Amino acid sequence: PVEIRTQPQPLAIVLSRLTGYATTWRASSDSAGLLASKKEKKRLRSA
């Protein structure tokens, strides 16, 4: 019973970490895309 009670906890931690990594990766990729679009706009303005 003790093992069953303590087993789901680490799994939940791993899941939360995975979702956290996914959200942070998505945010970083979004910010990188925004930076690229800003650079592209600057290039278009200067051209």
pLDDT tens figures, 21-31: 888 888 888 88
What does residue 23 show for φ and ψ, rounded to 5 degrees? -70, -40
Q: Could you tell me the two tokens for 38? A: 């800003």
**Residue scoring higher pLDDT (36 or 4):** 36
* Distance of alpha carbon 14 from alpha carbon 24, whole angstroms: 15
What's the pLDDT at 31? 85
pTM for the whole structure: 0.41
* Distance of alpha carbon 25 from alpha carbon 31, whole angstroms: 10
Rg (CA), the chain: 20
**Residue scoring higher pLDDT (44 or 6):** 44
* Distance of alpha carbon 39 from alpha carbon 31, whole angstroms: 12
pLDDT band at 6 (very low <50, low <70, confident <90, very high): low
